[in-house]
Amino acid sequence: MRDWSALEGSPSPLGVTWVEGEAAYNFALYSKNATAVTLLLFSEVDLSTPTYEYRLNPLMNKSGRVWHCRLRKNLIPGARYYGYQAAGPNEMKQGHRFDPRKVLLDPYARCVCFPTQFNRQAASQEGSNAGKAPLGLITTEPSADWTGDVAPAHTSDLVIYEMHVRGFTRRNNSGVTPAHRGTFLGVVEKIPYLKDLGVTAIELLPVMQQDPQEGSYSGYMPLNFFSPHHEYASEGKPFDALKEFRIMVKALHVAGIEVLMDVVFNHTAEGNEDGPNYCYRGIDNTTYYLLEQDGVRYRNDSGTGNTLNCGNPCVRKMILDSVCFWREEMHVDGFRFDLASIFTRNEDGSINLTDPPVIAEIGSAQELEKLRLIAEAWDPATYQLGQSFPGVSWLQWNGQFRDDVRAFVKGSSGLVPKLMSRLYGSCDLFPDDLVNAYHPYQSVNFITCHDGFCLYDLVSYNQKHNTANGHENVDGTDNNLSWNCGWEGDQDVPPGVLKLREQQIKNFCTLLFLSNGTPMFCAGDEFMNTQRGNNNPYNQDNEITWLDWHLLSRNQGMFRFFKNVIAFRKSHPSLSRSRFWREDVSWYGATGKPDLSHDSHSLAFFLSGAAQKDNDIYAMINAGWKPLTFLIQQGQPKEWHRVIETSLPSPDDFCEPALDVSLGADEYVLSPRSIVVLIR
């Protein structure tokens, strides 16, 4: 029997695959509209002139819309890198942008190489970019050995720590080996710190391959969806990035820490119609992108210049294949999908909230059943937080939690009812009625994240200070819901202002970890890291975004507070439940029922722990600017012991187990802008 695949190649899997039994490579590329495709192979020493060119014959090397071939290794000696050239209509009004002179990157490349002469501008202009184009790596390397790797799975003790791989350890004072600063291995060296802090999952800001000349530090402009960013490897080599990412994941798993990835499947680094022709637009522009009616301009629903056509079967497959790759080959435990609402776009750009295919396909893939799927359920054109988002079982970033808690702690009026909803688990957004049956843990609660102010800046700046970004301070949101505590910035801060800032940070921390749901906070918030008032440092690869570890030494009291509050939450399953608190919670005001009036700034609640075999908890919250006397409306005073009082300096602000700080009266005077938490 003749093996047709050995002769013609196979259309599956896409990308380049080593076929061990034939000592050959299989190449497969999707393009619906290309009229000709040429495979280019390059040696290690010459990335400009191909050592081998293979023009694919559509009568033999094409199946459906996939171009493919199979080449024996001994016939292409020295081939190390590869790319494609694709010919086809260059009719912009029809949406096509084929240029047969361009060297194009395989969307499925597992590692990406950038030649010494790599040049973004060359890809943006007409003509050849040979020797200046990113290329895929050809390798016979076997799959990673994951023997002994056990993925942790957290429930009530889940605490997510959002981290930028480079920014986490890039500074000289990070305490990391110089060669590992700003890399995956740098994260490995910081695992003892993460364990000491008590977080149980890290959420990595985008680590997929970026364009090193695009100008983005944050990682939200992906070039490729199947390879880790080469600059996060200790020596900046593409294949090292693959290996070192796996080393990091295995080490974190040993430490009991889940690895979540922030992924961007809504746009690419190719930008708008004036951007570079690296890959997708040159391979099949109308397949990969949503276009305006004129066929020339790109729809910009993502706010970054282009929008992936997530309704197209090819794009959906690429997204699903990427997620499966990172799960199966890299052992990632979950994903946070940036602008996940883009997944609800049909191929014509309309919105499908009933059953968008890509969400259904991710949710129904058997190999992805145990993954954490987290949605950012909004984009510049639509807001789908809560029931509107079609991924019914997904977790969602709760932007309403962020806004309501920020406004309440700041001192805004009319927010007590909203605070009650956020503490309870946001059942207004995630209802657990018979039809919906949401869980409170589906609400990812956060005060800060990579977007906007970090926590110290939230209490230190009334206005953004983004001049360094080069856009005359017009970029970044103006709706920060921040309050500088009476002094703008960090220069010559009066001691009283600094004390109040620390108290407000502790208030935010306490409310976050008292709330039912899944808590998340931003790396560095636990020791008052600052970005100098920049709320959009997307292009700041410098000390604005690199964590300043000297602040950990200076602010040990704040670190201790965060560490203890995290431990308190993890040891009290009453707080974080699979279901809402229901009859276990009683709401109070300072002296009676909750004061829900517009001018109220106070709230108390009692949470029974009996159903969870836990202690009872009583919390009193005064966001007002005057002292307020609270009547403890459950039990006898001597039964209660103080755990937290945010107005006190360290170490008195946290006294767990606090058996020697029992109450002597049923009244407790809370200082202005403070929280007290009791247990019995």
For residue 144, the model assigns a pLDDT of 84
> Which residues, other chains included, contact 582 with Cβ-Cβ below 8 Å and sequence gap of 6+?
none
- Rounded to whole angstroms, the Cα distance separating 267 from 319 reads 12
Catalytic residue among 8, 244, 301, 376, which? 376
Tell me which residues of the chain have a pLDDT lower than 70. 1, 142, 656-660
Catalytic residue among 258, 284, 301, 338, which? 338
Q: Contact at 8 Å (CB) between 250 and 149?
A: yes
For residue 662, the model assigns a pLDDT of 76
pTM for the whole structure: 0.97
For residue 166, the model assigns a pLDDT of 98
Which domains, from first to last, does the chain contain? 4-137 (2.60.40.10), 160-571 (3.20.20.80), 584-679 (2.60.40.1180)
Residue 13, preceding peptide bond in cis (omega within 30° of 0): yes
526 is a catalytic site residue: no
- Rounded to whole angstroms, the Cα distance separating 454 from 109 reads 35
193-215 confidence digits (pLDDT tens): 999 999 999 999 999 999 999 99
For residue 524, the model assigns a pLDDT of 98
| 459: amino acid identity, one letter | V
145 is a catalytic site residue: no
For residue 659, the model assigns a pLDDT of 53
For residue 428, the model assigns a pLDDT of 97
Q: Where are the beta strands (DSSP E) in 292-377?
A: 334-337, 372-375
Distances in Å between the Cα of 328 and the Cα atoms of 145, 387, 421, 445, 513 are: 12, 30, 38, 28, 32
